[in-house]
Amino acid sequence: MFTLYGSAESGHSFKVRLTLEVAALPYEYREVDLRLARDARAEPFRSLARYGEVPLLVHAGQPYVQSNAILLFLAGHTQAFGGETPERLARCREWLFWEANRIGTSLPHLRFGQRFDPQAYPAGVLEWMRSRFDADIARLNEELSDGRAFLLGDTPTIADFSICGYMFWPEQAHVGYPAYVMAWLERIRALPGWRHPYDMPGVVPF
């Protein structure tokens, strides 16, 4: 049994939740109110989340933090979704590092700056994030342009789950997606266990 601490508004939480759902792993979900100051958040989240952020996954008494590290743990745990062989896991790891530095940075900042707090960004930063996002989405589209179903082939892996984490709020980030990316997102939407982040049970959107 797993316990996931997350937030409705967090794509980092969503990618872990989506993996748990698609893998049909039993878990309890606990919503963390990110509007509270870090030291006002409830225990045991406060003590267990080393960097003070969601997601936090707890399994067999051990806390796991950092969304992509959690996905790697789940791929190892299930021996599936990229965890089948060391070679597949290596390819997933590459995508996860790309995600953290590229689309997992540009897209959340575009969304945060337009949906939540435009004042948080000095002049020019969101424009720079948009130029990064344009390059990132073009890279992803090119990757998928050979018509493969998922990033590593016919079946979904943690690479897909990681990269799609923030992609189901395009209207909040004021972005659009090119054709191969749209088709890939449709295939993710069709997976058993997929729901929109706001439709996951127990979440409380701001």
Judged by CB under 6 A, the number of residues near ligand GSH is 12
Of 57, 54, 144, the C-alpha closest to 108 is 54
Q: Is 50 in the site for ligand GSH (CB under 6 A)?
A: no
* From 8, 12, 74, 161, residue interacting with ligand GSH (rule: CB under 6 A): 12
Kindly write out the interface string for residues 61-100 of this chain, putting x where it contacts ligand GSH by CB under 6 A and - elsewhere.
-----xxx--------------------------------
23 binds ligand GSH (CB under 6 A): no
By CB under 6 A, name the one of 4, 18, 20, 54 that touches ligand GSH: 54
The set of long-range contacts for 92-97, using a CB threshold of 8 Å and a minimum separation of 24, is 92/152, 92/157, 92/158, 92/159, 95/151, 95/159, 95/162, 95/163, 96/68, 96/71, 96/72, 96/158, 96/159, 96/162, 97/68
Binding letters toward ligand GSH, positions 27-46, x by CB under 6 A:
-------x---x--------
